[in-house]
Structure 1
Amino acid sequence: MEGSIKVETENLLEKLKFNDSGLIVAVAQDYITNDVLMVAYMNKESIEITLKEKRVCYFSRSRNCLWRKGDTSGHVQYLKGFAYDCDADAILLKVEQLGNACHTGTYSCFSNNVFEEDIIDKSIIKKIYSTIEDRRDNPKEGSYTNYLLDKGLDKILKKVGEETSEVIIGAKNKDKEELIYEMCDLTYHCLVLMVSEGLTVEDLKKELSKRYK
């Protein structure tokens, strides 16, 4: 098995077009939200390491050495997908990002928006989940989320049950606005339950992916 992987990697490296410095552009993208996280460079060795370990390793031009993302910060990127473009001179890495991708402390290096259409944020569920996690780790006085987490599992389950009933009532009433409102309430309380019990959005995505065939 290891031998076949090595052969496949060698074939890949022959197809890719590296610049005069032996580097190729690599774009990292959140494998769940599709948010573009960062742009860096890789060489042949860093690609081999990344594919073998399933943990992203870049090549630092400023330090002139291999750079395993997260070695010092803990903000590791786990490889979930690897593709290259039609010209074979750029790589797309689908990653699971732990913590923030940017050295400035933001999740994505592309946080300086110049223009963006008014579209639904596909990552809103993950953002709400992250906010709940932050409340757990950094309690805020007067926070309803902290109130639920402090009260514990029984209180959270009670709220999930109540909101489920409200969703049923909204559906029976044939009231679209009410149903949307109550489903959002239920979603929030389910996310609180997930954080409380150590489940992640990725856990749900994996299970749903198994079912969707």
Structure 2
Amino acid sequence: MLEIITDPADIDFKYNQRDLIPAVVQDYNTKEVLMVAYVNDESLKLSLEKGETVFYSRSRQEIWHKGATSGNIQKLKEVYYDCDQDTILFLVEAAGPACHTGENSCFYRKIAVQKDQARTIEQSNIVDFLYQLILSRKEAMPEDSYTSYLFEEGIDKILKKVGEEAAEVIIASKNEAAEELVLESADLLYHMLVLLAEKNIKPEEIRKELIKRHK
């Protein structure tokens, strides 16, 4: 249950001509920006009362409780407003993807990155990068692609490879060479990502489960 620190009625929000202000939604644990929507006075009050994000849909011109139909609710952990009093920040724990496309965040398409940071960013997010690459192979199914071959063969082939690679990791662990264990672990991780892609499970779901267990 949320503890109200400041009554919204005591805040002089700078609503626009349609009596709306933008609301930025950010993951409470990962700090990833999930989406941007709009709230009015009523939807903000409902958000605080329900403990879940409630917005105002500009296209439908009605109150919109996020996840009411999809089940992808966003449980409020903390709520802030900015120095100009014209933007709300919701920190949430999300029960599912924020984006209607099925992506975890609406901000999944990149426009630019500094050249000297491109490699570092790619390396720091290599699991997500590889997963997206696997998904692109699944969709396009290019010829002469091992990933395409796995998807063509289906779940039994993918499971067989996961089992084989797991066994290789065990064997490598019995040996002295750390390099061999690293290589086999990388093979296992790749095939696990193929399996997740086959079952339409995102790595983010694994991360959230690990965070939940850590807590």
Alignment TM-score, normalising by the size of structure 1: 0.64
Distance, in Å, in 1 between the alignment partners of 2:157 and 2:60 is: 54
CA pair 47-126 structure 1, distance change in 2 beyond 3 A: farther
2:78 corresponds in structure 1 to 83
Q: Quote the offset at 1:190 in angstroms.
A: 1.0
Match of 1:45 among 42, 45, 61: 42
| Preserved contact between residue 142 and residue 148 of structure 2 (Cα < 8 Å) | yes
Instruction: Give aligned-pair identity as a percent.
Output: 38
Query: Take 1:49 and 1:131, find their aligned partners in 2: how far apart are those partners?
Result: 40
Q: Which residue of 1 aligns with 2:193?
A: 191
Q: Which moved more, 1:132-141 or 1:149-158?
A: 132-141
Residue 107 of structure 1 aligns to a residue in which SS?
coil
Length, aligned pairs only: 199
CA gap of 1:87–1:137, structure 2 versus 1, over 3 A, is closer
Distance 1:184 1:56, change over 3 A: farther
Q: Does 1:27 align with 2:24?
A: yes
Letter in 2 for 1:113: V
State the distance in 2 between where 1:116 and 1:16 align: 43
Cα–Cα, structure 1 residues 56 and 36, in superposed 2: closer, same or farther, change >3 Å? same
- Written as runs of structure 1 = structure 2, the 5 A alignment for 1:170-185 is 170-185=172-187
Q: How far off its partner does 1:53 sit?
A: 9.7
1:92 maps to 90
Unaligned runs of 5+ residues in structure 1 are: 71-75
Deviates more, 1:157-166 or 1:121-130: 121-130
State the TM-score, normalized to the length of structure 2: 0.63
Judging changes above 3 Å, is the alpha-carbon distance between structure 1 residues 124 and 133 closer, same or farther for their aligned structure 2 residues?
A: same
Q: 1:18 is matched by which residue type in structure 2? A: F
Give ranges in structure 2 of 5+ residues lacking alignment: none
Q: CA RMSD in A?
A: 4.3
Aligned equivalents of 1:122 and 1:55: distance in 2? 31
Cα offsets for 1:13-51 (capped at 9, x unmatched): 346652153544422335675433554542223335667
Measured in 2, the distance between the counterparts of 1:188 and 1:129 equals: 8
Q: For 1:144 and 1:56, how far apart are their aligned partners in 2?
A: 45
1:41–1:59 CA contact under 8 A, matched in 2: yes
| 8 Å Cα contact 1:140-1:146 kept in structure 2 | yes
